[in-house]
Homo-oligomer: A and B are copies of this chain.
């Protein structure tokens, strides 16, 4: 219960180097903003990792010491090596939590874990969005109001090509006319996955108190299986009951 949760905040980190508009909002990368907030929460121990580090910063050792991984990517999904994707997938199935942020809907790791394209409709129009709680007793909604607003975000609209979530926590309204399943829980293997829609790189979304609350809650939710049933499979040649 009171055990420390070790979180690795992963970021592609390219926009922040190449786009002035992004650099202005996240001068040290959006991972540092997310990591700083999480590190201030009780019981969380946080590190960061980025695409351009060796092995993308996701060595076997780092993953073995990570209970929950958060993932933001956009312009360089294809630069993520397949071998690292397989490594992360195996670690999720073995019990690591994964928080998939915004444009990471199109990351290799999310597509791999979902089995679908994870495609959707989008629009960059700096429009208002309002995220509604549809599962008010879910730990990820803890401390929220019935909804919260972001004055400017990228629109993501349905149909969102994902499997039906195991639990649907948030549904978004967009000023331009769309809706979106914006807070989605999945169980895969022994791991837990949360997809969370907000986070366009030119908006200060990861400074928003409600967004940070959701991410923090999601980290705790994804780390909840602290003493899971062992992950074993294979030939049980000897029956548990006498066979004729």
> Using Cβ atoms and an 8 Å threshold, which residues of chain B touch A134?
158-160, 181
Residues of B near A141 (CB, < 8 A) are 228-229
* Those of A144-159 within 8 Å (CB) of chain B: 144-147, 155, 157-159
Residues of B within 8 A of A243 (CB): 125, 127, 175-176
Q: How far is the CA of A231 from the CA of B139 in the complex (A)?
A: 15
How far in angstroms is the closest Cβ of chain B from A91?
A: 13
A133, A189, A224 pick with most chain B CB within 10 angstroms: A189
Question: By DSSP majority rule, is chain A's interface helix, strand, loop, or mixed?
Answer: loop
Tell me the A112-163 residues at the B interface (CB within 8 Å).
112-117, 119-123, 125, 127, 130, 132-139, 141-147, 155, 157-161, 163
Determine the chain B residues whose CB is within 8 A of the CB of A123 once the complex forms: 235-237, 239
Query: Number of copies of this chain in the oligomer?
Result: 4
CB-contact partner of A122 in B127, B160, B226, B236, under 8 A: B236
Q: Which of A216-244 contact B (CB under 8 A)?
A: 224-237, 239-241, 243-244
* 19 chain-A/chain-B pairs, Cβ below 8 angstroms: A116-B189, A119-B233, A121-B236, A134-B159, A136-B229, A136-B231, A141-B228, A144-B229, A146-B158, A159-B229, A163-B186, A163-B187, A164-B166, A164-B187, A173-B179, A175-B239, A175-B241, A175-B243, A177-B239
